[in-house]
């Protein structure tokens, strides 16, 4: 029998390894940024085109590479960070995968330009599909520039599985955030299709967070700091009132490496217990420094999951540290019965010198003057106050049924208090007068969640939130497509603040938002000015609706067409719909039921959940048998 096992060629093995290392353009961005950090760079620039599908370029001013290192860095299992096997458990650097650059070069066109500080001339290297096509000396600045072009050009199946450009761009920005937050001492900049997205100067951790997520974030941050023998915790958590429905602003860093840990997330969530609104999640930027020998970061290919030797102690310390910070900065309520707040001095007055109070004395006051005598006033009235007429004069001019005039005495005898009629009507339960037929019971609200209505052969139970969700969805979708929405103009325009990526998302869907009733005036930096909102939206709801819309679009946004309009209508309708627990009067209940049955699909919500349930009379009868 002939031999059937053979060694794979290097270019095939590299392509297989690329499936583990390079999943999408953001994977390339992560590897190149981490290599630039390990090169001790102080300035790093990221340039992408077409969400990284056409170009991913990273330029740094680090130590650079020699001609030999430039050639070896694209070989498999080539690294400068591992000498012996024990080094895998004592890592202080970022990327150490020997397959990273080799895998990238196997599925893209790669160009490398590098020069060390002490060399007079650098090196240019070009690789296409693991094959070196060019290598020659070149005049380049100190540092390294790696350009990855036409990703997955030789694996069209992998390229077809990539998402739309906005989705891939969002993944790249997420990776950029994770690297930039962990290294505030390095200057980062990012450009997409020639337009600047981020320009982050070297700063501290707090300023780096503010530069990425907007100046409005500064007031939300609560510092966290604790140092023990096992772990050193530092960073910030967001105040409980700024909790979000999405889990966007949640970052864990262990030894300046971003990780995902549901176990540590539970520790932070438990520290916020009782402080967050229902359905919201805490935000945090927490940095943990531990001994490199006490963790294992090789349990996941992307190094986003690690294993702690003593994770129970870290859980307890993290939970206690966050809870202590929330109480220390008066975010969490503290019970202290021995504390008298009347003796507390405000912080702004602690260093001020006390001044004697000014006392004003009325020099004209004489205690021996009779108070019954009117005092002389300095105010000259232009008229004299006449004596108030007697109450009987109120009835002057009244006539009886025969239009005969009465004298004052006769009027007092003829008119009694029972005959007087008040101008206001008697207070009733309804605004309009109704007949007996209209007063018959039709609907009622159950637990401020369901609307129950009687039908011919039983009863109908309607979920009020899902029903309103369906009604608003069809109305918004019609307004976007037919462009017939009505906007209510605001007397004072709203000034809302968003980060630059969020503003970019809103600009892409600005036309559809205007069709729903929003009216935008201008954008200044991170501020968005709104001069008109839809009729069904209040001013306080506008910011919440737009934030939820941005969060929904971040994960998966269609390129254009009906699918984008559908996503927009769903997100806005879900935010605007009445929530469970909201009381509705009878008129509101009936109005919602009528609007629901005027929809095209009244039985299901836009996310395919049942809106109503019918209970037959026979089914009710069986319950009592």
SS (H, E, C) 421-480: CCCCCCCCCCCCCCCCCCCCCCEEEECCCEEEEEECCEEEEEEHHHHHHHHHHHHHHHHH
CB burial of residue 21 (10 Å; 0-12, 13-18, 19+):
buried
- C-alpha 299/C-alpha 288 separation (Å) is 19
CA 423 vs. chain centroid, Å, equals: 54
Check: CB of residue 549 under 8 Å from CB of residue 528. no
CATH 3.30.565.10 is the classification of domain 10-200: yes
In this predicted structure, the answer to whether residue 152 has a pLDDT above a threshold of 50 is yes
Angle between helices 562-576 and 464-482 (to 10 degrees): 140
* Span 585-602, pLDDT tens digits: 888 888 888 889 888 888
In this predicted structure, which of 46-55, 91-100, 145-154, 516-525 has the lowest mean pLDDT?
91-100
- C-alpha 565/C-alpha 243 separation (Å) is 28
Q: Which fold has domain 205-328?
A: Ribosomal Protein S5; domain 2 (3.30.230)
Where does the chain hold its CATH 3.30.565.10 domain(s)? Answer: 10-200
Q: What is the CATH number of domain 450-613?
A: 3.30.1370.100
* Span 272-305, pLDDT tens digits: 888 887 778 888 999 999 888 877 776 566 667 7
Where does the chain hold its CATH 3.30.1370.100 domain(s)? Answer: 450-613
Where does the chain hold its CATH 3.30.230.10 domain(s)? Answer: 205-328
pLDDT category of residue 435 using cuts at 50, 70 and 90: very low
CB burial of residue 4 (10 Å; 0-12, 13-18, 19+):
exposed
In this predicted structure, the answer to whether residue 342 has a pLDDT above a threshold of 70 is no
Residue with tokens 């609104």: 277
CB atoms closer than 10 angstroms to residue 79: 18
* Span 66-85, pLDDT tens digits: 888 888 888 876 665 555 55
CA 548 vs. chain centroid, Å, equals: 7
**Mean local confidence (pLDDT), 89-112:** 73
- C-alpha 624/C-alpha 240 separation (Å) is 49
pLDDT category of residue 96 using cuts at 50, 70 and 90: very low
Q: What phi and psi, each to the nearest 5 degrees, are found at residue 493? A: -60, 150
Check: CB of residue 564 under 8 Å from CB of residue 512. yes
């Amino acid at each position: 029998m002939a031999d059937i096992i053979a060694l794979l060629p290097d270019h095939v093995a590299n392509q297989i390894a690329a499936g583990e290392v390079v999943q999408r353009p953001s994977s390339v961005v992560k590897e190149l940024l981490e290599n630039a950090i390990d090169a001790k760079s102080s300035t790093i620039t990221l340039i992408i085109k077409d969400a990284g599908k056409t170009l991913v370029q990273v330029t740094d001013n680090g130590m650079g590479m020699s001609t030999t290192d430039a050639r070896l860095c694209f070989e498999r299992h080539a690294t400068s960070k591992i000498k012996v096997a024990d080094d895998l458990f004592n890592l202080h650097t970022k990327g150490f995968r020997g397959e990273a650059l080799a895998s990238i070069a196997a599925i893209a066109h790669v160009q490398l330009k590098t020069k060390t500080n002490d060399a007079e001339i650098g090196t240019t290297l070009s690789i296409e599909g693991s094959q070196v096509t060019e290598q020659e000396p070149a005049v380049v600045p100190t540092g390294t520039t790696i350009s990855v072009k036409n990703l997955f050009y030789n694996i069209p199946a992998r390229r077809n599985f990539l998402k739309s450009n906005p989705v891939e761009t969002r993944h790249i920005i997420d990776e950029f955030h994770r690297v930039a937050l962990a290294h505030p001492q390095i200057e980062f900049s990012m450009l997409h299709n020639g337009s600047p997205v981020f320009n982050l100067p070297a700063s501290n951790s707090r300023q780096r967070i503010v530069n990425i997520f907007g100046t409005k974030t500064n007031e939300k941050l609560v510092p966290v700091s604790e140092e023990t023998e096992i772990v050193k915790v530092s960073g910030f958590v967001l105040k409980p009132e700024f909790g979000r429905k999405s889990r966007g602003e949640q970052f864990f860093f262990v030894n300046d490496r971003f990780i995902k840990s549901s176990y540590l997330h539970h520790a932070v969530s438990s520290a916020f217990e009782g402080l967050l609104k229902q359905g919201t999640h805490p935000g945090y930027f927490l940095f943990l420094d531990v001994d490199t020998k006490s963790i294992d970061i090789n349990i996941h290919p992307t190094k986003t999951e690690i294993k702690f030797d003593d994770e129970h102690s870290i859980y307890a310390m993290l939970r206690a540290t966050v809870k202590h910070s929330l109480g220390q900065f008066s975010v969490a309520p503290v019970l202290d019965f021995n504390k008298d707040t009347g003796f507390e001095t405000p912080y702004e007055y602690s260093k001020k010198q006390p001044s004697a109070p000014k006392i004003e004395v009325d020099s004209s006051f004489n205690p021996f003057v009779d108070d019954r005598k009117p005092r002389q006033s300095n105010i000259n009235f232009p008229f004299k106050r006449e004596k108030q007429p007697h109450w009987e004069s109120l009835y002057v001019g009244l006539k009886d049924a025969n239009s005969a005039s009465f004298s004052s005495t006769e009027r007092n005898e003829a008119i009694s208090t029972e005959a007087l009629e008040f101008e206001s009507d008697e207070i009733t339960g309804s605004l309009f007068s109704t007949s007996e037929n209209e007063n018959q019971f039709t609907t009622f609200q159950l637990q401020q969640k369901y609307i129950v209505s009687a039908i011919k052969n039983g009863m109908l139970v309607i979920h009020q939130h899902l029903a309103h969700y369906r009604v608003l969805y069809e109305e918004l979708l019609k307004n976007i497509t037919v462009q017939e929405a009505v906007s209510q103009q605001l007397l004072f325009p709203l000034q809302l603040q968003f980060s630059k990526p969020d503003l970019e998302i809103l600009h892409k869907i600005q036309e559809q938002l205007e069709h729903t009733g929003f009216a935008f005036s201008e954008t200044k930096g991170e501020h968005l000015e709104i001069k008109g909102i839809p009729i069904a939206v209040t001013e306080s709801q506008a910011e919440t609706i737009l934030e939820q819309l941005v969060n929904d679009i971040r994960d998966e946004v269609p390129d254009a067409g009906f699918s984008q309009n559908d996503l927009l209508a769903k997100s806005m309708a879900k935010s605007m719909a009445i929530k469970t627990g909201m009381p509705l009067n009878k008129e509101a209940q009936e109005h919602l039921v009528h609007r629901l049955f005027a929809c095209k699909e009244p039985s299901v919500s836009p996310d395919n959940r049942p809106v109503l349930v019918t209970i037959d009379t026979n089914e009710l009868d069986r319950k009592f048998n």
